[in-house]
Chains A and B, each alone.
Chain A
Amino acid sequence: MQSEEPIIQLVGLGKEFFTSSGPIKALDDINLSIERGEIFGIIGLSGAGKSTLVRCINYLEVPTSGDVLFENQSLAAMSSRKQRLARQSMGMIFQQFNLLAQRNVLQNVCFPLEIANVPKKEAVKRAMELLELVGLKERSKAYPSQLSGGQKQRVAIARALATNPKILLCDEATSALDPNTTKSILGLLKEINKNMGVTVVVITHEMTVIEAICDRVAIIDQSHIAEVGCVADIFSEPKSKIGRQLILGDAAEQAIRFGSNRRIRISFDGRSSFEPVLSNMILACKVPVNIMHAETRDIGGTAMGQMVIQLPEEEIDQTRVLNYLKTAKINFEEVKDYDL
């Protein structure tokens, strides 16, 4: 961390699209700060506005209200020439990789350097270094059509890093890849963040991407930010409805709708997930409970979990269970019907 000031600040950002059927609000009053050196995730369902949001960060989409501050400099106030220069400090990768099909791997990585008027010799040297970093040095003469999806994204990452950007914007960068390739690409992004100090912004609709690499996450829903915070906090206690939906998923929603009794959701933080919480509870309270949904995830090295259980029918037993959880200092909340 070089300084305290956030690398990106979105201030009251709004974006409206004017269509033949009237204006559509894609983003409304978005306020976010992205800190230098972090991996920041933006998650939302499709149509939530996340792709528009990431395009506003580098002004590929011009916001209709509010401002974007890049290192405290207002992008709105910049001339279009200055904006283009600023973009050279912001790399971007895409779901469909967007490599130039008629250029080979090396020429693709040299492309942003050509735009920045870097001398050819220097550009080739830099490009080869980056290809080595992403593990594709031997394929420098190959054309994109000869590469797999994962390799294409590696080339795209090398290309995005060519101009030494301070921030890397990833728009659904792994959504077109299989799970194993996704894992290796996410690993590469984490490595770049750690070793090169590049701030990474990850746009995704997959919770697994967020939990794998992000430090902080913003959940976006219907053009608004529903909640922002550390990934661990949001995973253990999602406050917004959309947060619960994304974290618990549809399976949990289905499971919860079966039960007729009172149900509670228990959240495990790193500490409690190593204790046999449920077994202890059952032994202590001497009542059976029905597990309706359970899930554990590894968030930055600690196990985070969610469990939905159905309480016993007798009210006295219910109180006993709830009291036990309270004294054991385990986070829980009651689940209402359709409370997702």
Chain B
Amino acid sequence: MTFDAATIGMLKLGVWETLFMTFTSSFFAYLIGIPLGIILIVMDKDGIYPVPWLQKILGLIINLLRSVPFIILLIMVMPITKIIAGTTLGARAVIPPLVIASAPYVARVVESSFKEVDAGVIEAAKSMGASAMQIILKVLLPEARPSLLVGAALSVTTILAYSAMSGFVGGGGLGDIAIKYGYYRYQTVMMFITVAILVIIVQVIQEVGMKLSRMSDKRIK
């Protein structure tokens, strides 16, 4: 194996595809996951707007989706993928299943961030006559911000790991290269290189997430 321009070009494309899949999916997963997380916490029987039956059903669906292995889900949702992405092949085709798989995960991560918000502060807002919507927008979201950012780093790295399975539908990305060259063609060096790049990407995402969280947290003196 030689490191010619073609190989480097392939790795570059792999990095780009991985980042594209990860961040696009993360964006949509949060777009769906944040409202779901809010519903989970707000409609709980002890929440600020209790609708326990709906909350329970939603919790059940989320757990169901989270139990399905991603590789199975990828196949199961192919008809939906076809409608949304217009194709069942390539990086674009990986995004719908990635979103479907990670939105429930994000919802749980977001829920746990909201759970950390001091109940006393919510009670204080209630005592001032705040509505449920005002509590969500002015108390829950801003007070949970540092924890939400830590959660985001966690979610994005998880989505990155899922995206490595995209090779199965010709999605490309670093995971795809690692399997194709490292496993099928016994090019161990290639496998190590792609894994090393993935490690660096995960490190950067994790560090940035933690740093943003710390910077935004006013509880630290």
List chain A positions with a Cβ less than 8 A from chain B.
58, 60, 83-88, 90-92, 94, 96, 98-104, 111-112, 114-116, 143-146, 156, 163, 169
The number of A-B residue pairs with CB atoms under 8 Å apart is 80
Main secondary structure of the interface of B (DSSP, over half): helix
Does B196 make an interface contact (CB < 8 A)? no
With A114-B138, A145-B218, A145-B220 in contact, is A100–B130 under 8 Å at CB? no
Chain A residues contacting B142 (CB-CB under 8 Å) are 100, 102-103
* A169 to B123 CA separation, bound complex (whole angstroms): 13
- Cross-chain contact A96 with B131 (CB below 8 angstroms): no
Chain A residues contacting B125 (CB-CB under 8 Å) are 111, 115
CB proximity to A under 8 Å, residues B191-216: 216
- Cross-chain contact A98 with B128 (CB below 8 angstroms): no
* B119: nearest chain-A partner, CB-CB: A98
Kindly provide the distance from the CB of A92 to the nearest chain B CB, expressed in whole angstroms: 4
* A145: nearest chain-B partner, CB-CB: B219
- Cross-chain contact A84 with B130 (CB below 8 angstroms): yes
* A187 to B7 CA separation, bound complex (whole angstroms): 77
Most buried by B among A83, A112, A146: A112
What per-residue 1/0 map shows which CB atoms of B112-144 lie under 8 Å from chain A? 000000101101111111110010001100110
* B216: nearest chain-A partner, CB-CB: A102
Does B145 make an interface contact (CB < 8 A)? yes
- Cross-chain contact A87 with B145 (CB below 8 angstroms): no
* A156: nearest chain-B partner, CB-CB: B124
Contact of B143 among A84, A102, A115 (CB under 8 A): A102
What are 20 A-B pairs at a CB distance below 8 A?
A85-B129, A86-B129, A87-B126, A88-B129, A92-B128, A96-B120, A100-B121, A100-B142, A101-B121, A101-B143, A102-B216, A102-B219, A111-B128, A115-B125, A115-B130, A115-B134, A143-B218, A143-B219, A145-B221, A169-B127
* B141: nearest chain-A partner, CB-CB: A102
Kindly provide the distance from the CB of A118 to the nearest chain B CB, expressed in whole angstroms: 12
Chain B residues contacting A169 (CB-CB under 8 Å) are 127
Chain A residues contacting B218 (CB-CB under 8 Å) are 101-104, 143-145
Chain B residues contacting A91 (CB-CB under 8 Å) are 127-128
Chain A residues contacting B134 (CB-CB under 8 Å) are 115
Q: For the A-B complex with A102-B143, A145-B220 known, give 7 more contacts whose Cβ atoms are closer than 8 Å.
A: A60-B123, A87-B129, A99-B121, A102-B145, A115-B125, A116-B128, A144-B219
Chain B residues contacting A102 (CB-CB under 8 Å) are 142-143, 145-146, 216-219
* A238 to B125 CA separation, bound complex (whole angstroms): 38
* A115: nearest chain-B partner, CB-CB: B130
Kindly provide the distance from the CB of B205 to the nearest chain A CB, expressed in whole angstroms: 23
* A162: nearest chain-B partner, CB-CB: B128
Kindly provide the distance from the CB of B111 to the nearest chain A CB, expressed in whole angstroms: 19
* B127: nearest chain-A partner, CB-CB: A92
* A145 to B131 CA separation, bound complex (whole angstroms): 26
- Cross-chain contact B145 with A94 (CB below 8 angstroms): no
Most buried by B among A103, A115, A116: A115
- Cross-chain contact B124 with A115 (CB below 8 angstroms): no
CB proximity to A under 8 Å, residues B143-165: 143, 145-146
Chain B residues contacting A143 (CB-CB under 8 Å) are 218-219
Most buried by A among B121, B123, B142, B218: B218
- Cross-chain contact A115 with B129 (CB below 8 angstroms): yes
